[in-house]
Amino acid sequence: MEQQVTTKKVFIRTLGCQMNVRDSEVIAGLLGKEGYQRTTIEQEASVIIYNTCSVRQHAENKVWSGLGKFRKAKTDNRKAIIGLVGCMAQNYKEAIFERAPQVDFIVGPSDIHKIPEIVNKFRVDKAQLRDRKLLERKIWETNGSIRPEEIYHSGFREDKNHAYVVISEGCSNFCSYCIVPYVRGRLRNRDYKDIIKEIEEAVDREITNITLLGQNVNAYKSAVNFIELLKLVNDINGLKQFSFITSHPRDTSIDLFKAMASLGKIKKYLHLPVQSGSERILQLMKRGYTRRFYLDLIRAYRKIVKDGILTSDIIVGFPGEKEEDFQDTYNLMKQVEFDSAYIFKYSPRPHTQAENLPDDVPQKEKERRHQLILALQKDISKRRRGNA
Ligand code: SAH
Ligand code: SF4
Ligand code: F3S
């Protein structure tokens, strides 16, 4: 038997959010059960997986250009199998094969449990190398909707001290600029008992710090609501600290702040994306809250969660954003003083409502607004760190 057929090493490149980081770990865990070891050296891998993000054009461009260098991996004596998984897989489906013929399989975020089976199919084909047709075939899975619960319990964890625990998948908010609901599907909540079990499994392995994950984490609702879940997690023996991302302002309440203040293991940290300080733009973004509502929340947070960290996300250059809208964002940031913030330039995304609006803020102007907010935030972050 040729050497490349028996080497079981997988290289996974992850782009995008923490959800993808956790998904890559899940994929590594599932393949681990099939005898695959995760490697950070692409040259020694027999399976190469790109776990992708579609949130902005820039994220996709990185994948299209990055895929080029894997062409060699297919033709050298490894005959590596190349998979493109995650949000871009869902966004482009089979069209990916046209643009990147070196890709062998495509798997959307709700189908990742099928990856071991797909990889095994290719291995069987490779064992019969004489038949070139088998080697050239393509497999894609993008129709799934439910992830089997077992995938979260493979036991494989990348980090020995910290674990991400997905509490909900997808998002039903449909903010007008955002592709996430289209590539990740509508909000699905995991059963709270399964979540607790997964955390206990991590604690058994001496991981004492965890982060609860959801695209809209505080919209969680099963037999218990989000605050009740936080209390249950806080009661887990052996767990030392936990936090949660990402919260949506509309689902954020005084009760959540009270829970943060009173539950001893919760990190005093809130990531609360505001996106814009302009009333008009917030409406066009379909965020579901006003500037005033957001500012009132922050005031309450600072009062109730003493010395709590506060971070945010901002988009500049949304369609129709005028200078005065931009100034509203600038002033909000000056007023709130986030500890840190991610600042993004608006990027039109397929499927979204905003895609139909004219992308009318010129690139140069987006760049100028981006730079101004970056500079402002840099200053604020530095000052706040100094005060801490
Ligand atoms: N669920 C999280 C994260 C969504 S994606 C949330 O709701 O906050 C992370 C960030 O990317 C968003 O907060 C937003 O600021 C940014 N983003 C999303 N779509 C974008 C787009 N089309 N152009 C630019 N930035 C975008
Ligand atoms: Fe996207 Fe809005 Fe959902 Fe966040 S809340 S993932 S920005 S649709
Ligand atoms: Fe990107 Fe998908 Fe996360 S689009 S931000 S990897 S949910």
Residue 185 has pLDDT above 60, yes or no: yes
Amino acid code (one letter) for 52 = T
Residues present in the chain in total: 388
Residues with CB under 6 A from ligand 3: 16-17, 19-20, 53-55, 86-87, 179-180, 183-184
Q: What are phi and psi of 56, to 5 degrees?
A: -135, 155
Radius of gyration, alpha carbons of the chain = 22
User: Which pLDDT score is estimated for 79?
Assistant: 78
56 Cα: distance to centroid of ligand 3 (angstroms) = 9
User: Which pLDDT score is estimated for 154?
Assistant: 87
User: Which pLDDT score is estimated for 132?
Assistant: 59
Residues 248, 249, 255, 261, Cα dihedral to 10°: 80
- From the CA of 51, give the closest atom in ligand 3: 6
Instruction: Report the C-alpha gap between 110 and 86 in whole angstroms.
Output: 8
Best mutation site among 171, 275, 355 for ligand 2 pocket (most ligand atoms within 8 Å of CB)? 171
Q: Which of left, alpha, beta for 201 (phi over 0: left; psi -120 to 50: alpha)?
A: alpha
User: Which pLDDT score is estimated for 69?
Assistant: 81
- From the CA of 171, give the closest atom in ligand 2: 3
Instruction: Report the C-alpha gap between 148 and 170 in whole angstroms.
Output: 15
pLDDT tens per residue across span 21-63? 999 999 999 999 999 999 999 889 999 999 999 999 999 999 9
User: Which pLDDT score is estimated for 3?
Assistant: 43
- From the CA of 177, give the closest atom in ligand 1: 22
- Which-ligand-closest: CA of 56? 1
User: Which pLDDT score is estimated for 104?
Assistant: 94
Mean of per-residue pLDDT scores for the chain: 93
Cβ atoms within 10 Å of 90's Cβ, excluding its own? 24
- From the CA of 342, give the closest atom in ligand 1: 15
Instruction: Report the C-alpha gap between 209 and 227 in whole angstroms.
Output: 19
Instruction: Report the C-alpha gap between 90 and 19 in whole angstroms.
Output: 15
172 Cα: distance to centroid of ligand 1 (angstroms) = 14
pLDDT tens per residue across span 265-311? 999 999 999 999 999 999 999 999 999 999 999 999 999 999 999 99
- Smallest CA-to-CA distance from 346 within 377, 325, 376 is with 325
% of residues, the chain, pLDDT over 70: 94
Q: Judge contact between 173 and 181, C-beta under 8 A.
A: yes
Give residue 145's pLDDT band: very low, low, confident or very high (50, 70, 90): confident
- From the CA of 19, give the closest atom in ligand 3: 3
Residue 4 has pLDDT above 60, yes or no: no
Cβ atoms within 10 Å of 218's Cβ, excluding its own? 27
Residues with CB under 6 A from ligand 2: 171, 173-175, 178, 180-181, 215-216, 248
Region 311-337: mean pLDDT is: 98
260 Cα: distance to centroid of ligand 3 (angstroms) = 27
Give residue 127's pLDDT band: very low, low, confident or very high (50, 70, 90): low
Q: Judge contact between 214 and 220, C-beta under 8 A.
A: yes
246 Cα: distance to centroid of ligand 3 (angstroms) = 12
Sign of the alpha-carbon dihedral angle for 200, 205, 206, 208: negative
The response to whether residue 344 sits with its C-beta less than 6 Å from ligand 1 reads yes
Starting at the earlier edge strand, list the strands of the sheet with 241-245.
162-166, 209-213, 241-245
| Residue nearest ligand 1's atom 18 by CA | 178
- From the CA of 216, give the closest atom in ligand 2: 5
Q: Which of left, alpha, beta for 137 (phi over 0: left; psi -120 to 50: alpha)?
A: beta
Region 365-382: mean pLDDT is: 98
Instruction: Report the C-alpha gap between 202 and 237 in whole angstroms.
Output: 12
- Smallest CA-to-CA distance from 188 within 174, 170, 165, 213 is with 170
Give per-residue burial for 334-369: e unless 16+ CB within 10 Å, then b: eebbbbebebbbbbbbeebebeeeebebeeebbeeb
Q: What is the DSSP string of 10-47?
A: EEEEE-SSHHHHHHHHHHHHHHHHTTPEEES-GGG-SE
User: Which domains are present in the chain?
Assistant: 9-141 (3.40.50.12160), 159-267 (3.30.750.210)
Counting Cβ atoms within 10 Å, is residue 160 exposed (0-12), middle (13-18) or buried (19+)?
exposed
The response to whether residue 287 sits with its C-beta less than 6 Å from ligand 1 reads no
197 Cα: distance to centroid of ligand 1 (angstroms) = 30
Region 355-368: mean pLDDT is: 97
